[in-house]
Structure 1
């Protein structure tokens, strides 16, 4: 189960369409009620993270969750398929539920000086596109969204994190769950002092 695109992921590259190719294949969105449910799930998730309600956030994750943020490099057009790291490459995050529990426990410790005093973070989630992947059943959704996070700590320590996310959501007994997330930041180098926040 993977949400990681197998093609180039740059949003700024020039990619001509071969002359023999047909017209662009348009996404096949889910129905409006499902779209609304998915958007509200993502907005609620962002609220929980903004409020540092990490135990509540963990309840939204599937047992098999995979949470990744590969690093991105600066590549020429001919090398764009290697712009983002793949499985086995060094990235910013490559987490499962056990390590996410450890990370959330760590940031709540009084000796986690990167988060004490805690920062103020606001996440904006936009451009939500939801589809139903083929051969995955009626209760699995592939979701692409754009996320922008603003973080302020102390007096003038501010950071911006912007990128897009490739998620897989599945329906559990109590509602939607996040089964996979891959975050692609727009930055090739993170200039912040730390990347301890969740996107």
Structure 2
């Protein structure tokens, strides 16, 4: 294994920036944090950690194109599930760099995302696994998998926000 080229502070600052963009509904700027071949996944609550979207039903299994389409839909007034927009608060903690090779690292962290809309607050808790790459333009997300630590999506019923 090569010497670590990423620091925890650098990665934490990047993840806090990502969370702030989501909370401020700056979704186009958030999307720009992703690489052109990125993946964003949210497996079902009853899935094993190593489940694959190729043979399991995921809540979200987006490649870069689908992620871009998701952002476009969420930004429109016709997005009934998110217009008016929810208020969210993304909290990130327990950030660990699992592996680091030259310009790429694997990161694991815990998250809590609060979503408030129409007088109801939903709480999503879980962990995120990232592959983060260093590019000429700065750090970028090559993949993000948000694993929910919930028995089910009740009472939320769906994931209409970006975790």
| TM-score, structure 2 normalization | 0.90
Contact 1:30 1:130 in 2 (8 A): no
In the alignment, structure 1 residue 145 sits paired with structure 2 residue 89: no
2:45 aligns with 72
TM-aligned CA deviation for residue 194 of structure 1: 2.8
Instruction: Give 2:11's match in structure 1, choosing from 25, 31, 38.
Output: 38
Distance, in Å, in 2 between the alignment partners of 1:83 and 1:179 is 22
Unaligned runs of 5+ in 2: none
Please tell me whether residue 86 in structure 1 is matched to residue 86 in structure 2: no
Residue 49 (1) aligns with residue 22 (2): yes
Which residue is 1:25 aligned to?
Answer: none
Report the RMSD for the aligned CA atoms in angstroms: 1.8
Q: For residues 161-180 of structure 1, what are the structure 2 equivalents within 5 Å?
A: 161-180=124-143
Q: Indicate conservation of the 8 Å contact 1:114/1:194, yes or no.
A: no
Cα pair 1:167 1:178 within 8 Å, conserved: yes
Q: Distance in 1 between matches of 2:17 and 2:61?
A: 23
C-alpha deviation, 1:30, in angstroms: 4.4
Equivalent in the alignment of 1:104: 71
Structure number, greater radius of gyration? 1
Q: Equivalent residue for 1:18?
A: none
Bigger strand share: 2
Find the aligned partners of 1:115 and 1:30 in 2 and give their Cα distance: 40
Q: TM-score, normalised by structure 1?
A: 0.74
Greater shift after overlay, 38-47 or 82-91?
82-91
